[in-house]
Each structure stands twice: as C-alpha cells, then as structure tokens.
Chain A
Amino acid sequence: SQKIEQNSEALNIQEGKTATLTCNYTNYSPAYLQWYRQDPGRGPVFLLLIRENEKEKRKERLKVTFDTTLKQSLFHITASQPADSATYLCALEVNTGKLIFGQGTTLQVKP
C-alpha cells in the first residue's frame, strides 16, 4: 500500500537557523507533492506544491525539493522565526482524487 513517512520526532531549532523537514514515500510515483502547515486546533493550510518535473520550488523563505529517484521531498524554512512553529504535513495524490498525508513533523523555533 502507499505510504508517506515524515520525521515523527519534533524538530527544535534556534531562531535564524534553517529548518529542514523530510517526507519520504513508497509504492507510488506521484505527479506532485503538497506541503501544508497546521497550527494546534486548526485545519491545515496549503503552503506549496511541487511537480515531478520540478527539482525545486521557492516561496519567500520556503523552499521545497522533490527527488523522484529517492522518493523524497525536503521542505526548508530559512531564517526561521518563532512564528514558524507549527506542524508541517506533506501530502500525495495516490489515486484520482484521493489525497493522503504523512503524520507531520512538529517544528519548534526558539528565540
């Protein structure tokens, strides 16, 4: 079955550093991958989408890479701020219309 894995351990970093989160997947060749941010008690909010033919995508301080050979996406937040503290989720469309999520990685940025 399709599987998406993210680092289950929380990531703690110092303000100003770069945070790097990992999303690995198996048994599937997705056409694209999405990243979302979720704050406690709220629904996830879409951040970025990267297609299989794109190696890298940027949006302000965010950068996503997609390696279809390794079956891995990396999500980077540069110059991190305490306001970036949240849980970050990756998602894939495994069948038409069916999107599944990883378990999420919680990021804590300390001032």
Chain B
Amino acid sequence: DGGITQSPKYLFRKEGQNVTLSCEQNLNHDAMYWYRQDPGQGLRLIYYSQIVNDFQKGDIAEGYSVSREKKESFPLTVTSAQKNPTAFYLCASRGGDQNSPLHFGNGTRLTVT
C-alpha cells in the first residue's frame, strides 16, 4: 500500500528540548511538505521541498528545521527556539505536475510542557 507515514502519532516533550518528527513516503513523489495546524484553524506551511537536497521556507519556518537527504524522507525538527510548539503537525507529498493534489499523512500531535 502506497502512502505517507508519520510517526509517532503522539509525542510529548519538555520545554527546551529539540524533537524530530518523522515523515516517510513510498509514493515516489518529488515534493514534500510540512504544515502545522492549531485547534480550530487551517494549515500553515512550515517548509516544503520540491526535490531531494533542496527545500524552501514556508510562512512560519522560524524555530523549525528540515532536511531532504532522501526522496522518501522529510524529517522536521522542532527546536527550542519555537515559541509555541504544541500543535498538530501534518506531512504531505505531491507527485506529477503542479496540478497534482497533496497526499497527507495522519499527523503527529506534539505536546510540549
């Protein structure tokens, strides 16, 4: 079954710690995305990558970092510099041309206390 896997589903961390969220896809898609969703709100773009070894900042990149060393993987690190890290994080991928839709994982809910 092709798809996007985010792990873990729930993650708890203490304030001041960096944490890395995993995102893996076996759809052979070139582009991958990270979004953040807060309660009752839409998705805000953190980072995106259109090809391996390249990525761009989205609208709320401060306090986050990414890498894209492999086509199938796009991990997101939430650093201690992120002021309000508690949120629902969604990873997506896209293949084909620019009209192609996003395929989302089922998210990681991060709680920082």
Contact = CB atoms under 8 A, between A and B. Distances in A.
A89 B35 CA distance: 13
A102 B42 contact: yes
B94 to A, nearest CB: 8
Interface residues of B, number: 27
B64 interface: no
B98 interface: yes
Instruction: Describe A's contact surface by its main secondary structure.
Output: strand
B43 A101 contact: yes
Interface of B: 4, 31, 33, 35, 40-45, 48, 50, 56, 58-59, 90, 92, 98-99, 101-107, 109
Contact of A101 (B4, B35, B56): B35
Given A43-B90, A43-B106, 9 more contacts: A34-B101, A42-B106, A44-B90, A98-B45, A98-B48, A98-B58, A100-B59, A101-B43, A103-B42
Contacts of B41: 103-104
Classify chain A's interface size.
20 to 34
Contacts of B31: 97
A45 B109 CA distance: 18
